């Protein structure tokens, strides 16, 4: 099945041109090959979360701006039909629920984890997070400890400590995740 790409590639191209960057310069700043950038900009390849983080850093924009749809006015609402999924290779699909108005201090994500899906290796970043399990079971590794969360459970963590979230249910697991400051 083809994963939805949406306007990500088009938005990256527009941001690159708006900032006056050549493919070569963006390649150097983002540590992504020219050919890969070209494939992404032409919506022929879906960037990984890590690649999106590289683009975000190189273009000096929040990751959420890479998903903005042209022609849609800024609004405090986000309709379910307008959510753009970001599927990772590690089995997680993220849906940003916070409309990108450019001035929020938190973000809310609806995360769908495939069986054994995870956020990948332990990682850390500035900020804090709160997660609420809507369906299934999760193992949260945080600060050298492990926590098992079931439907209805919640967790709050300091994101500067190493952490990873893994679906340990036999089926799909779903959680709402809140980050401050926004990581997207």
Q: Classify residue 37 by its DSSP letter.
A: H
Asked whether the predicted pLDDT for residue 1 surpasses 50, the reply is no
Asked whether the predicted pLDDT for residue 71 surpasses 90, the reply is no
pLDDT for residue 101: 56
- Looking at per-residue pLDDT, the higher value among 120 and 73 belongs to 120
pLDDT for residue 78: 80
What b/e sequence results for 32-54 when a residue is b if at least 16 CB atoms lie within 10 Å of its CB, and e otherwise? beeeebeebbeeebbbebebbbb
Closest to 122 measured CA to CA, from 141, 147, 107:
141
The C-alpha atoms of residue 124 and residue 130 are separated, in whole angstroms, by 14
- Which helix (H) or strand (E) segment holds residue 167: the answer is strand 163-167
What CATH number is given for 8-66 in this structure? 1.10.260.40
pLDDT in tens, 130-156: 999 999 999 999 999 999 999 999 999
pLDDT for residue 141: 98
Q: Which CATH architecture has domain 88-180?
A: Sandwich (2.60)
Q: Where are the domains of the chain?
A: 8-66, 88-180
pLDDT for residue 174: 98
Q: Give the DSSP letter string of 66-103.
A: GSPPTTPPP-S---GGG--EEE-TTSEEEEE-S---S-
């Amino acid at each position: 099945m083809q994963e939805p790409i949406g306007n990500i590639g088009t938005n990256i191209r527009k941001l690159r041109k708006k900032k006056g960057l050549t493919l070569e310069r963006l390649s150097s700043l983002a540590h992504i090959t020219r050919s890969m950038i070209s494939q992404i900009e032409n919506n022929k390849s879906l960037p990984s979360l890590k690649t999106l983080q590289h683009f975000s850093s190189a273009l000096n924009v929040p990751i959420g701006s890479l998903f903005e749809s042209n022609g849609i006015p800024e609004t405090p609402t986000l309709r379910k039909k307008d959510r753009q999924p970001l599927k990772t290779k590690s089995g997680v699909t993220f849906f940003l629920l916070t409309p990108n108005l450019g001035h929020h201090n938190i973000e809310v994500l609806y995360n769908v984890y495939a069986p054994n899906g995870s956020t990948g290796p332990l990682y850390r970043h500035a900020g804090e997070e709160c997660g609420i399990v809507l369906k299934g079971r999760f193992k949260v590794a945080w600060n050298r400890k492990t926590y098992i969360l079931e439907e209805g459970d919640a967790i709050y963590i300091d994101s500067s400590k190493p952490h990873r979230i893994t679906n340990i249910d036999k089926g799909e697991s779903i959680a709402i995740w809140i980050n401050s400051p926004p990581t997207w």
